[in-house]
Amino acid sequence: MDRTSLDTLIVGAGVTGLTTAICLAELGMRVRIWTAEPAQATTSVAAGAMWGPYRVEPVDRVRVWSAETLEVLQQLAKDPATGVRLVSGVEASRTPTEPPEWGHQLDGFRICEASELPDGFTTGWRFTAPVVDMPTYLGYLERRFTEAGGHIEIRRVNSINEATGVAPIVVNCTGMGSRDLVHDVDLTPVRGQLVVVANPGITEHFSEDTGLSPDLLHYCPHGDTVILGGTAQPGAWSRKPDPATAAAIVARCAGIEPRLRDAPVIDHRVGLRPTRPRVRVAQQTVNGARVIHNYGHGGAGVTLSWGCATEVAAVARSGPPSLPPPVDHSR
Ligand X SMILES: Cc1cc2nc3c(=O)[nH]c(=O)nc-3n(C[C@H](O)[C@H](O)[C@H](O)COP(=O)(O)OP(=O)(O)OC[C@H]3O[C@@H](n4cnc5c(N)ncnc54)[C@H](O)[C@@H]3O)c2cc1C
Q: Which residues bind ligand X (CB under 6 A)?
A: 11-17, 34-37, 42-44, 46-50, 156-157, 173-177, 181, 192, 194, 230, 271, 273-274, 295, 297-303
Cβ-based nearer residue to ligand X, 44 or 93: 44
- Which residue's CB is nearer to ligand X, number 90 or number 194? 194
Give the separation between CA 286 and CA 293, rounded to whole angstroms: 12
Least distance to ligand X, CB of residue 13, Å: 4
Paired with 42 in beta bridges are: none
Residue ranges with strand state E in the chain: 8-11, 31-35, 84-93, 107-111, 123-132, 151-154, 169-172, 188-198, 205-208, 215-222, 225-231, 233-234, 265-286, 289-297
State the nearest-atom distance from the C-beta of 173 to ligand X, in Å: 6
**Could you tell me how many helices (H) and strands (E) the chain has, helices first?**
7, 14
Q: How far is the CB of 261 from ligand X (least distance, A)?
A: 21
Residue 124 or 192 having the CB closest to ligand X: 192
Rank residues 83 and 301 by Cβ distance to ligand X and give the closer one.
301
CB closer to ligand X, 221 vs 301: 301
- Residue 167, strand partner residues: none
Residue 153 in 3-state DSSP? strand
Residue number, 223 or 258, with CB nearest to ligand X: 223
DSSP per residue, 234-276: ET----SPPHHHHHHHHHHHHHH-GGGTTPPEEEEEEEEEEEE
Spatial distance between the Cα atoms of 160 and 167, rounded to a whole number of angstroms: 11
Q: Decide whether 10 or 325 has the Cβ nearer to ligand X.
A: 10
How far is the C-alpha of 190 from the C-alpha of 163, rounded, in Å?
A: 27
Q: Per DSSP, what are the bridge partners of residue 86?
A: 130
Query: Quick one: 28 or 306, whose CB is closer to ligand X?
Result: 306
- Taking the complex as a whole, the smallest distance from the CB of residue 331 to ligand X amounts, in Å, to 19
| Burial class of residue 211, CB neighbours in 10 A (0-12, 13-18, 19+) | exposed
Type of residue at 156 = R
Q: How far is the CB of 322 from ligand X (least distance, A)?
A: 29
| Shortest reach from residue 151's CB to ligand X, in Å | 14
CB of 70 to ligand X, least distance (A): 11
Query: What's the closest the beta carbon of residue 267 comes to ligand X, in angstroms?
Result: 12
